[in-house]
């Protein structure tokens, strides 16, 4: 049973790593480290664990851990009487990602509203063939979707800020 959980975790480390490589523009090992830390959770991942589990050299893990810390994607804590560092995800990284999503959606919303406004004005011109008029239902529905998604993500952001989640 424990082996299948470990296999599942490592499968997710790989899958999430590929995703983070592209989204965060990280090197493959850095993305796997970040994935492993995310999936390890608040107990924290140690340097030694990552060297062993990710099958990378100490210098490679160290270089990428330092880089991820410089990017403020991870942080560490120590335990009394224990010399190890326990790496965890930096909560602000998630908040920054949410902020980028909201900003992106706000920009997209504005563009769709401008396009919709343009099309509405075109529709008011004398167009004899009704089939040539713009259908605005897509823009209306898409703006509604963006508004609802943004509202949900803003709610999530507030919960993150108010420490309602322990990541």
Q: Are residues 31 and 110 in the same domain?
A: no
Under 8 Å between Cβ of 72 and 95: no
Task: List the CATH number of the domain containing 72.
Answer: 1.10.10.10
**What's the half-sphere exposure (Cβ side, CA atoms, 13 Å) at 159?**
10
Q: Is residue 107 part of a domain?
A: yes
**CA 104 remoteness from chain centre:** 13
Which domain, by its residues, includes 124? 92-161
Q: Is residue 167 part of a domain?
A: no
Angle, helix 58-70 to helix 28-40, in steps of 10 degrees: 80
Q: How confident is the model at residue 166 (pLDDT cuts 50, 70, 90)?
A: low
| pTM for this entry | 0.74
Predicted local confidence at residue 1, as pLDDT: 52
Predicted local confidence at residue 97, as pLDDT: 87
Which of 70, 89, 108 lies at the terminal end of a domain, its last residue? 89
In 10 A of CB 17, how many CB atoms?
Answer: 21
* 74 φ, ψ (degrees, to nearest 5): -135, 165
Q: How confident is the model at residue 17 (pLDDT cuts 50, 70, 90)?
A: very high
Q: Are residues 14 and 78 in the same domain?
A: yes
């Amino acid at each position: 049973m424990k082996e299948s959980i470990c296999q599942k975790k490592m499968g997710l480390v790989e899958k999430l790593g590929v995703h983070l490589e592209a989204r965060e523009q990280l090197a493959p090992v850095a993305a796997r480290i970040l994935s492993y830390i995310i999936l390890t959770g608040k107990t924290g991942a140690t340097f030694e664990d990552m060297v062993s589990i990710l099958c990378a050299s100490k210098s490679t893990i160290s270089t990428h851990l330092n880089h991820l810390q410089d990017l403020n994607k991870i942080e560490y804590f120590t335990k009394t009487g224990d010399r190890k560092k326990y790496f965890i995800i930096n909560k602000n990284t998630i908040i920054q990602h949410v902020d980028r999503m909201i900003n992106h959606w706000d920009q997209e919303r504005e563009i769709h509203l401008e396009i919709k406004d343009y099309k509405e004005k075109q529709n008011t011109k004398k167009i004899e063939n009704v089939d040539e008029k713009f259908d605005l239902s897509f823009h209306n529905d898409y703006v509604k979707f963006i508004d609802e998604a943004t509202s949900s993500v803003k709610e999530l952001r507030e919960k993150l800020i108010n420490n309602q989640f322990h990541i």
